[in-house]
Amino acid sequence: MPCYKIASFENTDLPLIRKAAATGKPLIISTGMATVAELDETVRAAREAGCKDLILLKCTSSYPSTADDSNLLTIPHMRHLFECEIGLSDHTMGIGVGVASVALGGTVIEKHLTLKRAEGGVDAEFSMEPDEMALLVRETEQAWRSLGRIQYGVIAAESASLKHRRSLYVAKDLDAGEIMTRDNIRSIRPGHGLPPKYLDQLVGRPVSGPVRKGTPVSFDLF
């Protein structure tokens, strides 16, 4: 989709922002050195002029920039403040900062591209070569897919691993009426018996019938 990109050094030029927003095209604005107050003015100007689709890019205006100066925790804060999509204009080397931005909710990444850094150029030092760009695409997609949802407990892919949990097993042959003790019950793998948390409840109870050593403990043994 055609859009307008406003760079870090023009993001406080409100007449420019209004003119771009009035076209009705989406706006991508790098935040650069802008303060929160300045960004608030920029966002208000864009929306009042008709911008419906706005993306702000967290940006550190040093070339190249470092991971230490990236301050990616600003990304979720900006999303909360301005209620729009937030991304990253990234001038660091490598893909680590870009991947981290996705983990914090970034949905757009801007990176400089060069066919070959060795050939030089104004931005060559911090630009990515095609194979590095492809790696960034793959790994940021992995990061995005890994976010999933809030999840506790067993998912389908983990069900087979339940057998690796410890559970209670009969450790000696028992006759009917024999009392369960800590000598004839053990917490071992696999996890086909009752969970170990029931151990104290079962010790001292008689079994209802004969039980062979190695039987997973269940309540119907009593």
pLDDT value of position 200: 95
pLDDT value of position 123: 87
pLDDT value of position 121: 86
For the segment(s) 4-147, the CATH number from 3.40.50.300, 3.20.20.70, 3.30.1360.180, 3.50.50.60 is 3.20.20.70
pLDDT value of position 105: 97
Residue 22, both tokens: 């009035």
What pTM does this model have? 0.81
Start and end residues for every CATH 3.90.1210.10 domain found in the chain: 156-221
Q: How far apart are CA 94 and CA 1, in angstroms?
A: 27
pLDDT value of position 161: 93
> Tens of pLDDT along 89-122?
999 999 999 999 999 999 999 999 999 998 998 8
For the segment(s) 156-221, the CATH number from 3.40.50.2300, 3.90.1210.10, 3.30.930.10, 3.40.50.11310 is 3.90.1210.10
Residue 203, both tokens: 């010790």
Find, among 172, 222, 174, the residue nearest to 202 by Cα.
222
pLDDT value of position 99: 98
Q: Which residues of the chain, if any, have pLDDT below 70? A: none
pLDDT value of position 196: 96
> Tens of pLDDT along 22-43?
999 999 999 999 999 999 999 9
Start and end residues for every CATH 3.20.20.70 domain found in the chain: 4-147
Residue 137, both tokens: 């695409």
Pairing of the two strands 185-188 and 85-89: unpaired
| Angle, vertex CA 219, rays to CA 218 and CA 222, nearest 5 | 110
- Bridge partners of residue 50, in order along the sequence: none
Torsion angle in degrees (nearest 10) through CA of 134, 138, 141, 147: -140
